[in-house]
Amino acid sequence: MPTTHTPEQRQTIIARLRRFPDEWEKLVTGLSEHELYTAFIPNEWSVAQNVHHVPDSHMNAYIRTRLILTEDRPTVKPYDQGAWAKLADYKLPIEPSLSILRNLHVRWCALLDSLSAADFARVGLHPEIGEITIDDILKIYNEHCDAHIEQVTRTLAAGRK
C-alpha cells in the first residue's frame, strides 16, 4: 500500500460494488437450511456465517470511508471477525443480512461516486496494516467480494459431494 487507482479503475470497482448484492443474493438465495448452516469444510464458515459476515465487514469499510473523509488521519479500528461470527445473530435467517448489504451498498456507492481524486487519497491509520486510503479500501473490498463468492462456492461444492 498505498493504492492509487485511475478514475476508470475506481468507476469499475464502484460498479462492481453496486452489482455485488445481486451477485451475492443469486448465489445464496433458495438454499436449504442444511446448505446454509452446515460448515462443510473444516475450519471454514458455513454459507450463513459468510452471508452475515459480508455486511458486517462492508459496514466497517463504509464507516472507515466516512471517518477518513471527515477526520484528519483517523485510526480505523480493526475487529475480530471470527469472534463476531460466533455471536447469536449469525444464527438468524440470512434475509436481514442480505437487506443490510443491499441498502448499505446503495449508500456506500453513492458516497464513493461523489468523491474527488483528492478524497480517494485521504489517509486513515489501521493499527494492523498502517496507512490506508479510500483507494486501498476499494481494492480490499473488491477482493473481499471475490473471496467470499469463491468461499461460498467451495463450501456449497463440498456439501454436494
Task: Please report whether residue 151 resides in a domain.
Answer: yes
- Total domains, the chain: 1
Helix (H, G, I), strand (E, B) or coil at 141: helix
Count of C-beta atoms within a 10 Å radius of residue 108: 23
Q: What is the DSSP string of 45-106?
A: --HHHHHHHHHHHHHHHHHHHHHHHHSSS-B-----HHHHTTSGGGGS-SHHHHHHHHHHHH
Task: Please report whether residue 1 resides in a domain.
Answer: no
- pLDDT tier at 29, thresholds 50, 70, 90: very high
Task: Please report whether residue 147 resides in a domain.
Answer: yes
**27 lies in which domain range?**
7-159
What percentage of the chain reaches a pLDDT higher than 90?
95
**Interval 43-71: pLDDT, tens:** 999 999 999 999 999 999 999 999 999 99
pLDDT value for 5:
87
Nearest of 30, 14, 42 to residue 137 by alpha carbon:
14
Question: What cell was used for 142?
Answer: 473488491
Query: Cβ distance 53 to 101 under 8 Å?
Result: no
Task: Please report whether residue 61 resides in a domain.
Answer: yes
Task: Please report whether residue 75 resides in a domain.
Answer: yes
Query: Cβ distance 125 to 75 under 8 Å?
Result: yes
CATH of the domain at 130: 1.20.120.450
Task: Please report whether residue 88 resides in a domain.
Answer: yes
**Interval 70-123: pLDDT, tens:** 999 999 999 999 999 999 999 999 999 999 999 999 999 999 999 999 999 999
Cβ-count burial 17-35 (b if 16+ within 10 Å, e if not): bbebbeebbebbeebeeeb
Task: Please report whether residue 21 resides in a domain.
Answer: yes
